[in-house]
Structure 1
Amino acid sequence: MTKTLGLIHTSATLVEVFARLCGEHLPGVETFNIVDDSLIKNTIAAGRLTPSTARRVSGHIASAEAAGADHILVTCSSIGAAVEAAEPLTGVPVTRVDRPMADRAVALGPRIGVLATLSTTLEPTADLVRRRAQAAGREIGLTARVCEGAFEALMGGDAATHDTRVAGALAELGGEVDVIVLAQASMARVAGTAEAGVPILASPPLAMEYLACAI
């Protein structure tokens, strides 16, 4: 029986990214997308994930289940807490996109760097890494930084400026840690081209590797 993956995005720019990855890693799995960019816009405006936005995330997850998803992937790290809150209420597995990446980072080294282009994503990702390290029984040191202006450049259509700023921040952070976590799926475009001297982990491909075994 063919399985179906429902993907929930807060940016339309990620639909194509995950469509390509699903084709590579989940060739026999059907997919559909739910996109609501107001989730991230409201989170940025409030400076945090609000209860009302969290309820709407839960609603989208319920809609994906009702639409026939056998597994649900939420591709935005900023709303990760809402994803985890919705998991026990959902009858199918739900994965927040950065969980497999956090587990890989914990396994690679004790000094972990987290780089984000949004402050609203930095703390949720850092918190996830800390909790996954605790669950694995590992002691870690965490260095978290925001790459200012990169997200705004990408949303404004200036991908080159985004990539240049992220690459520069990666090179600087690489001298201080054993592994770097890119806090947002939108940053994955830089992972294969930037040099940091340490492993650079992006959530989309690692989430797909996880789902290839889980679905």
Structure 2
Amino acid sequence: MNDCSTCVVRNRAICASLGTGELKLLAQLGSKQNIKRGDTLMWEGDSSPVVANIITGVLKLSVNLQDGREQIVSVMYGSDFIGRPFGKHSPYSVTAMTDAELCVFTRSSFDNFLLEYPDLQNKLLRRTLDELDRARDWMTLLGKKSANERIATLLIELSERLNMNGCDPTTPYLDRFELPMDRQQIADILGLTIETVSRQLTRIKQEGIIDLPDRRAVIIKDRNRLKSIAEVA
């Protein structure tokens, strides 16, 4: 694998805690992998032979319900870590929502590396706790927020998290971006119908808060009002 110092998520990924020598050792264990939109890296319930850092792109974690429907349980962005160290099976499927570049390790080699470097274990634990906090926030969104608030919250999150995919490091967010998911996937993520998603996006657009030049593009014209709707501090 190439020198980790050139990685665009070097300072945000879990390996940020490692020194130069340790990074060189880790780089020898990993490999770059490009996957296309729609490709699945891991399948729910199958053995989990790899773990990975997302360099660029957006992936979804999903589970299948008994009636065959898919439930998207999380959306992962650049610098996020996917997979279960020390776990034999994946509790969810991991599928690319956009073309993506990953830094992939075999789970066994990564597990052994973790045992030798406790700082990386601590970083992974903190990242796991952050993901738990995000999951709890999402439970609040799905349980308490209105459809309009859910849409606004997702747009704010996308504007901030997509900026980590190698975009301008001088600003914490993007005011223009491409949606990595379609209307049906937004509905699945937010627990809404596709009709409600389309209706609420149109409503926010008509209020002059956003613009929607096409089916994927979003322009945030009034971030403060959008954050007010989302109730984001």
- TM-score range for the pair, normalised by the shorter chain length: under 0.3
TM-score with structure 2 length normalisation?
0.26
TM-score by length of 1: 0.27
Larger Rg: 2
Structure (1 or 2) with the greater helix fraction = 1
